Amino acid sequence: MKNLDKKVFTVLNDQEPRLLAKCPVLVTGGARRIGKAIVEDLAAHGFPVAIHYNHSIDEGAALAASINEQGGKACVVRADLSSESDIRNLVQDASRHIGPIQLLVNNASLFEDDRIGQLDMTLWDKHFAIHLKAPVLLAEEMAKALPDREEALVVNVIDQRVWKLNPNFFSYTLSKTALWNATRTMAQALAPQIRVNAIAPGPTLPSERQKPGDFERQVEKLLLQRAPELSEFGRTVRYFWESRSVTGQMIALDGGQHLAWETPDIAGITE
């Protein structure tokens, strides 16, 4: 028993530095909404954070300044995620400020509606660029730059609707479904050095399309009748970081929407 206890203690001690290490993080779309909440949580827990933005320079700069003033470490980095050259340079740009990226949160998103019969290929291409091409290329660039013997993590922010398909938001849904498949195949391809997991949000914040009362009606239709709190997103990212045996998995933060039967498309609620 004494030898067993000593062995367990040694294993725990060997793991502890990795579990407690606060690695450099890149969060795409990190200046606003869910991305901002993830940035704030990780920075508050000691992670140096690179806040990616495309147009939200004022929000990103203010967020970074606030984190730095409170003793954290943050910077802002700009990239157009529809541009391959911008995507491929983003990890390097972030690393110059805070060190080699070991945690990549692919949060940037475009949520625009389209339907079969009214498809716009420009919008189609934007959805797939932001939701599939950018996350995959960013993971590839992080893998190329990752120091030997270091571990890393990718967390893709997807959408619960990939588990409960409907024909609304057609190209958005297809692109997010492709990212869910990419999450699992990247988990296979990048192992054992890099783990890849995902978060599937449900209704979290009102959209620009919604009128007063639409979001509240949407939440009432959830199994749990409550939306996820913003604090849950950063906490889930940290769970993935600390849980070194977890890869290829997705956690739905959606109030049970992926299990519900009266979803917004059925109830006629604007999303």
Query: Considering the domain boundaries, does residue 217 fall inside one?
Result: no
d(CA 160, CA 259): 9
Q: What is the CATH number of the domain that holds 101?
A: 3.40.50.720
Q: pLDDT digit string (tens) for 117-148? A: 999 999 999 999 999 999 999 999 999 999 99
Report the number of distinct structural domains present in the chain.
Answer: 1
The SS3 of residue 136 is: helix
Query: Considering the domain boundaries, does residue 3 fall inside one?
Result: no
Query: Considering the domain boundaries, does residue 14 fall inside one?
Result: no
Query: Considering the domain boundaries, does residue 57 fall inside one?
Result: yes
Q: Is the pLDDT at 192 greater than 50, yes or no?
A: yes
Q: Which two tokens stand for residue 262?
A: 């009266």
Q: Which of the two residues, 255 and 209, has the higher pLDDT score?
A: 255
Q: pLDDT digit string (tens) for 18-46? A: 444 689 999 999 999 999 999 999 999 99
Of 96, 201, 202, 93, the closest CA to residue 138 belongs to 93
Structural domain boundaries enclosing 111: 22-208+227-259
Q: Is the pLDDT at 12 greater than 50, yes or no?
A: no
Query: Considering the domain boundaries, does residue 191 fall inside one?
Result: yes
Q: Is the pTM of this model over 0.85?
A: yes
Predicted local distance difference test score (pLDDT) of residue 209? 82
Query: Could you tell me the CA-to-CA distances from 43 to 9, 64, 67, 93, 268 in Å, in that order?
Result: 30, 10, 7, 19, 39
Query: Considering the domain boundaries, does residue 215 fall inside one?
Result: no
d(CA 136, CA 236): 21
Q: pLDDT averaged over the chain? A: 91
Dihedral angle over CA of 225, 226, 232, 236, nearest 10: 20
Q: What are phi and psi of 103, to 5 degrees?
A: -135, 115
Query: Considering the domain boundaries, does residue 219 fall inside one?
Result: no
Q: pLDDT digit string (tens) for 68-120? A: 999 999 999 999 999 999 999 999 999 999 999 999 999 999 999 999 999 99
Query: Considering the domain boundaries, does residue 196 fall inside one?
Result: yes
